[in-house]
Amino acid sequence: MTPKDATATRERILDSAADLFNQRGYWGTSLSDLLAATGLEKGGLYHHFGSKEALALEAFDHAVDRLRVRIRESLAPHREAVPRLHAAIDNYVAFVERPPVAGGCPLLNTAVESDDTHPALRERAAAAMTELVDDTFGRILTRGVERGELAADLDVEGTAALFVAAIEGGIMLSKLYGDNDYMRRTARRLHDLADSLATAGTAGTRTRRRSSR
């Protein structure tokens, strides 16, 4: 196998493992499930990844990479805070409609499963969640305040926490009911909230967003 083939094989294994762990959870995924999904022999899995745990950690990072690509692409066309918030919300509606990984949000799933049971997975989930709370929503809000697009006294920490909590909870509701409308309803009110944050000078973003859909 050339190095390029080896990388492609590894990617394919991580794709399958990410979907499987995200659907069944770490504790609900047996070694035989993993071998069946990845097409590996037992020896091959241990050779390439070392252990079920090591594969689970790498598969989680792989799933988060897929999400990161999506959110960056969603945000890239927009400069101002309010349109960036709308784009981020829409990104998660698209998430339930065209899931980048099977089984719902890997941050949510891994957070809920690992918090009392698996410190290494929990640490990965927390790092990925911090990226979403602080580096994505927190930064959009902070820059929006600095540029005068959002109110100077905006509760940035509370608002970032609310956006992420509601998005993750909305994905959970849609997955639970098998009905994407729960995420759409949640998103509708988050769009309203995003509009309400705009200072007077940028309040026209609402009309622009609505008419662009």
- Residues at the interface with a copy of itself (CB under 8 A): 23-28, 102-104, 108-109, 111-113, 115-117, 122, 125-126, 129, 133, 155, 157-162, 164-170, 172-173, 175-177, 182, 185-186, 188-190, 192-193, 196
Give me the least distance between CB of 53 and a copy of itself, in Å please. 14
Give me the least distance between CB of 9 and a copy of itself, in Å please. 26
CA 31/CA 24 separation, integer angstroms: 12
Nearer to a copy of itself, 75 or 126 (CB): 126
Nearer to a copy of itself, 146 or 181 (CB): 181
User: What are the percentages of helix, strand and coil residues in the chain, rounded to 5?
Assistant: 75, 0, 20
Give me the least distance between CB of 147 and a copy of itself, in Å please. 21
| Residue-by-residue DSSP string for 62-99 | HHHHHHHHHHHHHHTT--SHHHHHHHHHHHHHHHHHS-
Nearest Cα to 133, choosing from 110, 155, 156, 153?
156
Give me the least distance between CB of 40 and a copy of itself, in Å please. 22
* Residue showing tokens 């047996």: 30
Contact 188, 198 (CB under 8 A): no
Nearer to a copy of itself, 41 or 123 (CB): 123
Nearer to a copy of itself, 40 or 108 (CB): 108
